[in-house]
Structure formats: structure tokens, C-alpha cells
Amino acid sequence: MSQEGGLYEKEPPIPPNEYVRVKHTVLREFISKIFVAAGLSSNDSWVVADVLVTADLMGISSHGVQRVRRYIDGLLHCCVNPKPKIRVVRDFGATALIDADNGLGHVAGVKAVEVAIEKAKRYGVSLVLVKNSHHYGIAGYYSLRAVEKGFIGISATNSEKLVAYVNTTTRSLGTNPIAVGIPRKTPPPILFDAATSIVPVGKIEVYAKMGRKVPEGWVIDFEGRMLSGDAAEILSEIRAGRASILPLGGLGEEFGGHKGSGLAFIIDVISGVLSGAAWGLHVRYTVDTAPANVGHSFAVIDIDAFIPKEEFYERIESYIDELKSLKKHPSADRIWIPGEKAWNTMMTRLQIGIPVHIKVCEELNLIAKNLGINEKLCDLNKS
């Protein structure tokens, strides 16, 4: 998935007592072995590992290898099918509906975006929906699959209820991310990838493992009071169903909470209601007692169906140049286009390795040991 490249920027040194730096190929192979041991095929295991490692390469640790435990628990203990028969159940012109057969979303997502790309080649645009799936990692991974082929790619998904709809206190929406990838003549591509909540729950998971505190403004309890402090305690409240993450924009309408929750609702309608998957209150957690029935959506646009690609590239570069030449705010380091920071981080980490928090490393080593893998990801004694 990831392209090799030169060192774009120097990454700050990592605290040696908190992180170890692991080569991306080593990390991907180790994670893939874990999923093979949990029952996935070698090809499906590589797909899942590549999605997770790509997230870490891009600096999105909330959706990286720290999420392995979540998927393994679902595969081993309850409700995720390790050998799904993913199939197209409806096929009409530029559209298709895919049944993921209760497998991991990463595998279904890759199949769906490949179908969407082929349809866009024929029809100029496409829309492919997925039902009966699970969490699929970073939405941007699938958009970039389309970008690699020279297309515009759009990906969105619903997810388990974690977020309070505007002017409510209880959980009713998922973090429901959306990603749009746009190719350029030379890298980095444009990539907008964001949850429709103020933060993804994975960020709170990372904070909990790191012993960090959650700031006020992310989470409320069911009485509507702001929660802040120890991330592990707040995560426990969320998992117990006693707290909610706020939508993008924050509490109420004054700063735009209605915009974040409204966008999440629309993504849920397309990915969940229209696909035949679950929506809102009915989407389950990956390690719940029943299948999650997550829904995804993928759209692909062939640029040449609207404008010659070379002309599009020239126009998009003119737009970017205009943005880059604007007067910079005094407190800003530079003017970024969407996805540029993540791309630079990826190019750097492809060369010098991915920083993996020691607690994540310990957890991965334990998972591997419990699955009969006699290897360790990193030598923690040297950390």
C-alpha cells in the first residue's frame, strides 16, 4: 500500500523509555502472523496488517496496531467470521452492494473499492456499499487505493454508538468517518480523512495506554456534564455506556455540534440504512455478543469523464499554490493541504521506522504468545 520515498522531514526523537522504533516491514509481518494464527487466510491477514501499519506510518496511531486486541478478541471469542465468503449481492450499472459475511471490514473494504474502481473505469463514477461488516480501520486507506489508480476516491463508514447527537447526552451515533482522496501529478496526494466526532475513540484508547489525561470538551456523561482527567477511567465510562463522545464542533450548536452530528447522520443513512446494514443505536461493537453489521460506502470518480486529467492536475496545482501563498497566521508553522502532514510522516517512517509505545508492544507480544507465536516484536529490555 505505502510507497517508498525519501526522508521528507526529520521526526522528533522518541522518548527511549516510552517507545521503540520498528521497521514497517517487520511490524507488518508480525501483525500478519498474529491474524494468521487467529484463523485468517494469509492474504486477508496481510490486508488487515497493511491497513493497520499504514495508519501508524501516517501517524494515525489511534487506528494503528494498538487496535489489534479489539479484532483478535472478536475473532476468537464471539462474533467475527475469520473465513468470510464476501460476495456481490446486487450489481446494477455503476452501483453494487457487497455482503461482507460478518468478516473484518478491512478485507471487505479492499474488495469493495476494487469493484468501485472497475465500475468507475466503465461508467465514469461508481458507488459500492457494504453490509454485514465490522470496523475497517482508517477510511483514507481505501480512498488512497483509488488515488493510486489515478481516480478520486471517497470512503465512509458507520460504527458503534459512541457519540451523542447534538442536544442529547446518550450515545446514538458512531464516530462515522469520511475520507476523500484526490490524485496529483506528483506526491503527496490530497487526502482528507476525519471522524465526524470531536475525536475518534481510538485516540482515547491511545491516551489510556499512555497514561495521559483527556481534556475537557471531548466527552460528556449522561447528565450532560463535561468529563476530563484520567483517560483509562473515561474510556471505562464510555465502554460501560455511561459517557458519550461529542460530535465534531463540540457541545450544542454554538460552535457547530449540529454540523458534526448532521454529517454523521448522513453517513449513517448512506452506509447503514441504504446498504441494509445496521445504523446508529443498532451498530454493535466488534467484540459484542452479536455481529456488528457495520456498513461502508465507497465512491470512485474517473477524472477523465469530466475533464482531461492533465488539465485537472494543472488546475489543482494552481489552487494549491494559491492556498500556499496566503498570509500565514503568526502562530502557524506552515500552510498545509489535507493529507500533507500524514504523507510527510509516512515518508519519514518508511525510512527510520514506526514509533510503537512500549505498552502497545507488550500487548502485541502477549497476544502473539497466547496464539502460539514464539517471536517478540521488539526487545523491551532495550527500550
Question: Any idea which of 27-36, 212-221, 288-297 has the lowest mean pLDDT?
Answer: 288-297
Mapping DSSP to helix (H, G, I), strand (E, B) and coil, where does residue 345 land?
A: helix
Q: How far apart are CA 268 and CA 278, in angstroms?
A: 9
pTM of the model: 0.92
Residue 286 pLDDT greater than 60, yes or no:
yes
**CB within 8 A of 126, min separation 6: which ones?**
94, 95, 96, 115, 116, 117, 119, 120, 298, 299, 300
15 falls in which pLDDT band (50, 70, 90)?
Answer: confident
Q: How many helices and strands, by DSSP H and E, does the chain display?
A: 11, 14
Give residue-wise pLDDT tens across range 131-174: 999 999 999 999 999 999 999 999 999 999 999 999 999 999 99
Domain boundaries along the sequence of the chain = 1-77+339-383
- Percent of the chain exceeding pLDDT 90 equals 87
Write the pLDDT tens digit of every residue in 114-127: 999 999 999 999 99
Q: Tell me the β-bridge partners of 300.
A: 126, 153
Greater confidence (218 vs 289) lies with 218
CATH of domain 1-77+339-383: 1.10.1530.10
